[in-house]
Structure 1
Amino acid sequence: MGKDRITRQVVDELYVEALVLSDEAREAFNLRIQETEGPLDDSMKMALSVEGLRTTTRLMNVLAWLLNQRAYLSGELSENQLRRYGELGDERQSDPVQAAQLLPHTRLLIRDSELLYARIARLDRGWRNRPSATASPVEALQGRLATAFGSA
């Protein structure tokens, strides 16, 4: 197995990890649950809302990418379809000022989601930077040149 090849086992394990983090995020950013532990001021509510949206969006991008990989590995998507439509969505980094207002467990959850996103982003870059299996020899050479000279 080449270092740029993504296996079904890797995708499945990352998918489970992303689902667990998503479930934890749903619970951590639920304002109704947070308010049962005591009243929240407006800045805390804003921090929970904004960071909750950033975290859940980050996790949904990861899950969408993993589902596309699963579809590709199952033969439901072609390599061209995956290259065209399966790119990982942009990440919105957390705001350290807002995150500092949150409980330590919630900050850890945000960090874990950022680390998972970074891992997926590395896999995505590695997969995209390899020559396409359906590329012509000229396209493969152009891809290698673009990668070597940083224009990919």
Structure 2
Amino acid sequence: MSKAATISPAIVEALYEDALLLADEARTVFDESYGPQAGMRAVTWGGTRSVTAAQHEAQVVLSCEALRTTTRMMHALAWLLNHRAYFAGEMSEFQLRRHGRLPPPQPESDPAQLAVLDPHTRMIIERTRRFYARVARLDRAWRAHFAMQPTAVHRLRERLGAAFG
């Protein structure tokens, strides 16, 4: 059986730096998408402002994706911060195992809705998904290190049964 991946302080630090940069890049993209240059300007007819249905739909999709993306990155950052605290001696292994769990990923987006967003925004969203998947693989590997392996328990029972049976 292969040994679980070891998570080192260097790996956590490198991922933490990557996460900060990616989270900042995502924040910038979504901030720019809400600004006046975003192409979401209301149309004025006789002094009243009106937003087209397509603009409204794009704004709703953008808001949903901004929330999903920032939540995804904040969960990854929290996981990394917990591991940094563990490696710095600020958190015990028990505390990390109890409180350092990575939450499940955000629901997948509807591809048709994503299509209304500009390519750069879609690329940032995809990069955050891939980043989260990397952290999730590390979390699973780290947790597997502590999980009871049923096959080992069964082998022990068989040996005890053979010795005393």
TM-score range, shorter chain: 0.7 to 0.9
Deviation above 4 Å: which 4+ runs of structure 1?
146-149
Using CA pairs below 8 Å that are at least 6 residues apart, which structure has the higher relative contact order?
2
**Offset at residue 148 of structure 1 (A):** 9.7
- Check conservation: 2:4, 2:144, Cα contact below 8 A: no
Mapping for residues 2-151 of structure 1, pairs under 5 Å: 3-30=4-31, 31-33=33-35, 35-39=36-40, 41-92=55-106, 93-131=108-146, 143-145=148-150
Q: Which runs of 5+ in 1 are unaligned?
A: 132-139
Task: State how many pairs are aligned.
Answer: 137
In the alignment, structure 2 segments of 5+ residues that lack a partner are 42-54, 155-165
- Bigger Rg, which one: 2
Relative to the length of structure 1, the TM-score reads 0.82
Say if 1:65 and 1:88, in contact at 8 Å, map to a contact too: yes
* Aligned-partner Cα distance in 1 for 2:8–2:98: 20
> What SS does the corresponding residue of 2:149 show, helix, strand or coil?
helix
How much identity, in percent, do the aligned residues show? 47
User: What RMSD over aligned residues (CA atoms) do the two structures have, in Å?
Assistant: 2.2
TM-score (norm 2): 0.76
C-alpha displacement of 1:10: 0.7
Instruction: Summarize deviations over 1:45-92 as a string: whole Å, max 9, x none.
Output: 001100000000000000000000000111111111011000001211
- CA apart distance, 1:147: 9.6
Q: Answer whether contact 1:94 1:110 (CA < 8 A) is retained.
A: no
